[in-house]
């Protein structure tokens, strides 16, 4: 690479925990164009957004992996810590006004390497610098007087600055000026600032951090040649992947930062017309068969000016999926052990395609896995924790009904395993909170099921005939009946996991509950 003309940065990829706030900042505030929205190529259930100029030209791209409500990371060594966008030199005053109006925190203007700079923070706390630099946009987008034109620089934190700089030099960069502990490596179009932070904490992946920076390669042959060169160098392990819009090679530089080499083509117009870029959620070719499930599990968002559901601060992490033609009903989803708020969305969509889905995440954790309450052993449970979480969940339901204007008469709760057990406990302790429920593989987890008034409550329980955890299901069913619930108890030829018959039974039961015809 070092023998070719410098070509600069292709893109930088970061991680966000709130997709709507991210879109509002990068599209609504900065004015970049959303040029692509896809399921991740490594993980189809991870939304990946690409922002850039009109066509998402290499050198203009800032991309985000969406870890919705995911754990924050820590910025440290072995990471990109800042990104910089070039804007017209005389536009910084306007950007200050815009930042004040939008409530975006900023510092400056100051000067860095002789250029005027405004330092801002995006909603995840990532430092985004607007640099007054007279650089041209490859494919202009937005107001020419103020719009970001391209990436100007990234900053890498390292404890091995000389080795990191030498490695970056492989991709067409040459030493530039040095200011205090920062060495600037320059290409013909942009810069990489290598900051010596010896003794600083190592970076931890997570939201609010960068995943990698990518440099440009003209074609696949150049990527393969660099792969061979790195093998001779005995560098860290390399991986080459076809990302549809470009072919990539990944490698870690000596300081630990993940580096990508990405081809300029074929670009983002291979599957969308230029005027429609970024409008449709696309999934990688290898995930085509489960595209509908992926679409319902990925977090939704609205572009600036589009209708949106404003999130509320409620006791549980939650996420909506709103279909194109909602019928006014809502299904509240309670996942099983180790799941999350999106796990049951594909099942719920198939059961009731026009229902709005409200996925909720349990707040207890066991070895990093989300649950609804703590376990003491495999078959005994923390009773005070169940009661405390049930109280919080009842408050969540009341808050969600008010905050989102949901119709309580058209509310159904769907739980599997730990989520179904928890829903049954909520019904025992707060019977008004849950009046209609589909409980898949449920057993009682309260040591004593209290007498309560379940008149007007409808329940479908589906047990697995071979479920090793299902011995308590008959007792729970009897309790429902004894307390006045209208219970439909079914059994399917299955263990603890869900099968197609669960979906069919739930669909038919819900149709009956709604008074609709069914086969």
User: How far apart (Å, rounded) are the C-alpha atoms in residues 161 and 148?
Assistant: 29
Rg (CA), the chain: 26
Q: Which two tokens stand for residue 372?
A: 């609804």
User: How far apart (Å, rounded) are the C-alpha atoms in residues 168 and 163?
Assistant: 9
Q: Directed axis angle between helix 383-404 and helix 418-429, to 10°?
A: 80
469-488, pLDDT tens digit by residue?
999 999 999 999 999 999 99
Q: How confident is the model at residue 47 (pLDDT cuts 50, 70, 90)?
A: very high
Q: Which of 93, 84, 95 is nearest to 142 (CA)?
A: 95
User: How far apart (Å, rounded) are the C-alpha atoms in residues 9 and 11?
Assistant: 6
420-461, pLDDT tens digit by residue?
999 999 999 999 999 999 999 999 999 999 999 999 999 999
Q: How confident is the model at residue 517 (pLDDT cuts 50, 70, 90)?
A: low
Q: Are 147 and 120 in contact (CB under 8 A)?
A: no
% of the chain at pLDDT higher than 90: 92
Q: How confident is the model at residue 234 (pLDDT cuts 50, 70, 90)?
A: confident
The phi and psi torsions of 259 (rounded to 5 degrees) equal -115, 140
Average pLDDT over residues 251-270: 97
Name beta bridge partners: 107: 119
Model confidence at 519: pLDDT above 70: no
User: How far apart (Å, rounded) are the C-alpha atoms in residues 89 and 115?
Assistant: 9
Write down the pLDDT at residue 292.
Answer: 93
Q: How confident is the model at residue 286 (pLDDT cuts 50, 70, 90)?
A: confident
User: How far apart (Å, rounded) are the C-alpha atoms in residues 98 and 106?
Assistant: 11
Q: Which of 303, 293, 338, 345 is nearest to 320 (CA)?
A: 345
Model confidence at 193: pLDDT above 70: yes
Average pLDDT over residues 371-377: 95
Model confidence at 1: pLDDT above 80: no
User: How far apart (Å, rounded) are the C-alpha atoms in residues 413 and 342?
Assistant: 14
Q: Which of 241, 230, 238, 245 is nearest to 37 (CA)?
A: 245
Average pLDDT over residues 294-321: 95
What number of H helices and E strands is found in the chain?
Answer: 10, 26
Three-state SS for 299?
coil
Q: How many CB atoms lie within 10 A of CB 49?
A: 22
2-37, pLDDT tens digit by residue?
444 447 999 999 999 999 999 999 999 999 999 999
Q: Which of 333, 336, 355 is nearest to 345 (CA)?
A: 333
Write down the pLDDT at residue 316.
Answer: 98
pTM: 0.95
């Amino acid at each position: 690479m070092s023998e070719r003309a410098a070509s600069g940065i292709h893109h930088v990829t970061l991680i966000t925990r709130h997709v709507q706030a991210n879109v509002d900042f990068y599209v609504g505030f900065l004015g970049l164009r959303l040029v692509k929205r896809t399921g991740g190529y490594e993980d189809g259930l991870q939304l990946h957004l690409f922002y850039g100029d009109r066509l998402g030209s290499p050198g203009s791209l800032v991309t985000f992996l969406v870890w919705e409500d995911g754990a924050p990371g820590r910025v440290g060594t072995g990471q990109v810590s800042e990104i910089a966008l070039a804007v017209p030199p005389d536009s910084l005053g306007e950007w200050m006004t815009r930042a004040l109006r939008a409530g975006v925190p900023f510092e400056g203007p100051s000067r860095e390497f002789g250029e005027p700079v405004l330092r801002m923070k995006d909603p995840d706390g990532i430092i985004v610098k607007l640099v007054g630099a007279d650089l041209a946009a490859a494919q202009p987008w937005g107001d020419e007087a103020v719009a970001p034109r391209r990436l100007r620089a990234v900053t890498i934190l390292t404890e091995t600055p000389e080795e990191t700089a030498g490695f970056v030099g492989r991709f067409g960069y040459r030493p530039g000026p040095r200011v205090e502990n920062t060495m600037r490596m320059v290409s013909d179009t942009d810069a990489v600032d290598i900051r010596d932070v010896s003794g600083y904490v190592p970076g931890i992946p997570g939201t609010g951090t960068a995943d990698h920076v990518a440099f440009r390669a003209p074609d696949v042959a150049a990527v393969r040649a660099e792969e061979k060169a790195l093998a001779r160098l005995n560098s860290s392990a390399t991986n080459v992947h076809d990302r549809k819009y470009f072919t990539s090679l990944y490698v870690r530089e000596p300081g630990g930062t993940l580096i990508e080499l990405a081809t300029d083509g074929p670009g983002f117009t291979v599957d969308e017309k230029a005027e429609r870029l970024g409008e449709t959620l696309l999934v990688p070719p290898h995930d085509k068969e489960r595209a509908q499930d992926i679409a319902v599990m990925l977090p939704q968002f609205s572009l600036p000016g589009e209708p949106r559901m404003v999130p509320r601060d409620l006791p549980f992490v939650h996420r909506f999926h709103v279909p194109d033609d909602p019928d006014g009903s809502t299904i509240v989803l309670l996942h099983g052990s180790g799941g999350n708020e999106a796990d049951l969305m594909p099942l719920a969509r198939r059961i009731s395609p026009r229902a709005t889905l409200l996925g909720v995440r349990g707040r207890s954790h066991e070895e990093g896995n989300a649950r609804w309450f703590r376990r003491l052993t495999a078959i005994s449970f923390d009773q005070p924790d169940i009661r405390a979480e049930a109280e919080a969940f009842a408050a969540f339901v009341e808050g969600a009904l008010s905050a989102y204007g949901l119709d309580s008469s058209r509310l159904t709760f769907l739980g599997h395993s730990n989520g179904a057990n928890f829903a049954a406990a909520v019904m025992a302790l707060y019977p008004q909170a849950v009046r209609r429920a589909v409980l898949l593989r449920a057993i009682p987890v309260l040591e004593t099921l209290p007498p309560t008034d379940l008149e007007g409550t409808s329940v479908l329980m589906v047990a697995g005939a071979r479920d090793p955890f299902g011995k308590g299901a008959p007792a729970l069913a009897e309790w429902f009946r004894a307390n006045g619930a209208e219970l439909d108890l079914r059994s399917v030829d299955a263990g603890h996991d869900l099968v197609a018959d669960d979906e069919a039974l739930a669909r038919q039961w819900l149709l009956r509950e709604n008074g609709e015809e069914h086969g």
